[in-house]
Amino acid sequence: MDLLALMRRAPGAEPALEALAGEPAVHVVGGAVRDALLGRVPRELDFVVEGDAAAVARRAAERLGGRAVVHERFGTASVRSDGAVFDVASARGETYPRPGALPEVRAGASLREDLARRDFTANAIALHVVDGALIEWAGAREDVDAGRLRVLHDGSFLDDPTRLLRLARYAARLGFAPEPGTAALAAAAVAGGAVATVTGSRLGSELRLLLREPQPAALLALERHGIGTAAVHPGFAVDPGTVEAVLALCPADAQADLAALAACLPETEDLRPRLDRMEFTAQEQAVVVAATAAPRLAATLRRAEDDVHLWRLLRRERPETVALAGALGAEAPARRWLGDVRHRRLAITGDDIVAAGVTGPAVGAALDAAQEAMLAGEAPGREQQLAAALAAVGPS
């Protein structure tokens, strides 16, 4: 398999590889190499220099007629030109001052030391840009071939418990499974309270990434070993059928990832503070919290008799909430609302009501009456809708 050929097909990769082709200290590392070994086109390329990344970036920028932006503090540099934008980083070593803390980074490391800081052996592989040679952590390629996720050492999940969420992410994305030793280490780390040593912001970042992976596989993987109950909420539980159904029902204007998450959470008072700790935005919190009320809504929604009842019941509900209610046994009315009823618009506006002499709160009541008359089939056009509106409130 020509791994470099697959690398060149990654977005923006061709000019970057051409600019770095004469640099003997440059390697592509991590997930891009793993994906190429699996016969997949990588999403992006991460370049590591065994030496001075800034010098390599400057030479690459000169070849491309662009410029290099050096970040001395982080040992990285960005190359920018009209045809390419990419980063290179000096090989680094890491140590963890305490469990769950951010690592202390040491520049000037060897490539092997850089591979040693990776989360799983499948990501601890480097490809030499000059000749396509592979350098790997012991057993890495065998684990890729076998579809195994294996940590590099027994303290991996204790050093960085966010790797527990990454374990779930990679399992879903790649279809890999943790090998028995790694599974046991994950369960022990969760049981020992490792997740509590990580800041909420880091957990939230990993959770958002996990929600973008194939579902319900990623959420099911998060549920294993108690990761979801430790990292997200004690009531976290996954019903794969419900997750699949809510994703199928979510319209284009819904945040399907948040609806899927809500499907796994209870309606509790402590939910918003937990989401806030993970730095979900106020809008994201509102979506998830509202959607957890879907079981109660579903019971009422199943009894909706017609489009007028749907409008009265759902007019202020978020699409994610309605989709989840539909997934919980009210599919037909939820689908009708999301796909049709909520999109019907009056031929009149509030200005028409005001022009007819109605003011104040009565304007809204008049529009509501017109909407119901339209949905009931009694006021299909502008004149009928205006008549229905005025009949409901009368002129002021």
Cα 294 to Cα 85, 249, 264, 328: the distances in Å are 45, 13, 12, 8
Residue numbers of the domain that contains 140: 3-146
With respect to residue 98, please indicate whether it lies within any of the assigned structural domains.
yes
Task: For residues 7 and 56, state if they share a domain.
Answer: yes
Q: How many CB atoms lie within 10 A of CB 102?
A: 12
- For residue 177, give the CATH number of its domain: 1.10.110.30
**CB neighbour list of residue 112: distance below 8 Å, 6 or more residues apart:** 135
Can you give the chain as a three-state secondary structure string?
A: CCHHHHHHCCCCHHHHHHHHCCCCCEEEECHHHHHHHCCCCCCCCEEEECCCHHHHHHHHHHHHCCEEEEEHHHCEEEEECCCCEEEEEECEEEECCCCCCCCEEEECCCHHHHHHCCCEHHHCEEEECCCCCEEECCCHHHHHHHCEECECCCCHHHHCCHHHHHHHHHHHHHCCEECHHHHHHHHHHHHCCHHHHCCHHHHHHHHHHHHCCCCCHHHHHHHHHHHHHHHCCCCCCCCHHHHHHHHHHCCCCCCHHHHHHHCCCCCCCCHHHHHHHCCCCHHHHHHHHHHCCHHHHHHHHCCCCCHHHHHHHHCCCCHHHHHHHHHCCCHHHHHHHHHCHHHCCCCCCHHHHHHCCCCCCHHHHHHHHHHHHHHCCCCCCHHHHHHHHHHHHCCC
142 in the same domain as 158: no
Do 316 and 367 lie in one domain? The reply is: no
- What pLDDT, on a 0 to 100 scale, did the predictor assign at position 395? 57
Pick the closest to residue 221 from 171, 149, 148 (CA basis). Answer: 171
Is 138 inside a domain boundary? yes
Same domain, 154 and 81: no
Q: Give the C-alpha separation, 257 to 286, whole Å.
A: 14
Tallying the residues shown for the chain, one arrives at 396
Among candidate residues 205, 227, 249, the one where a domain is terminated: 227
Residue 234 in any domain: the answer is no
> What is the rounded CA–CA span in Å between residue 12 and residue 7?
10
Query: Strands 177-178 and 148-149: what pairing?
Result: parallel
CATH of the domain at 99: 3.30.460.10
Residues 177 and 124 grouped into a single domain:
no
| Residue 259 and residue 326 in one domain | yes
Give me the number of domains the chain comprises: 4
Within 10 angstroms of residue 25's Cβ, the number of other Cβ atoms is 20
- Pair 93, 216 in one domain: no
Shared domain for 185 and 287, answered yes or no, is no
* Residues 105 and 13 occupy one common structural domain: yes
Q: Is residue 317 part of a domain?
A: yes
279 shares a domain with 174: no
pTM of the model: 0.91
Whether 304 maps to a domain, the answer reads yes
Please say which residue of 227, 248, 281 terminates a domain: 227
SS3 sequence of 217-264 = HHHHHHHHHHHHHHHCCCCCCCCHHHHHHHHHHCCCCCCHHHHHHHCC
Last residue in a domain, options 121, 146, 171? 146
Instruction: For the chain of 396 residues, list the mean pLDDT of each consecutive stretch of 10.
Output: 90 94 95 96 95 94 94 87 92 86 84 95 96 95 97 96 97 97 98 96 97 98 96 97 98 98 97 97 97 96 94 97 98 97 96 93 95 96 95 76
Please report whether residue 58 resides in a domain: yes
- Same structural domain, 15 and 115: yes
Could you tell me if residue 232 is inside a domain? no
Tell me: do 32 and 126 sit in the same domain.
Answer: yes
Using alpha carbons only, give the angle 299, 267, 240 rounded to the nearest 5 degrees: 75
Residue 38: inside a domain: yes
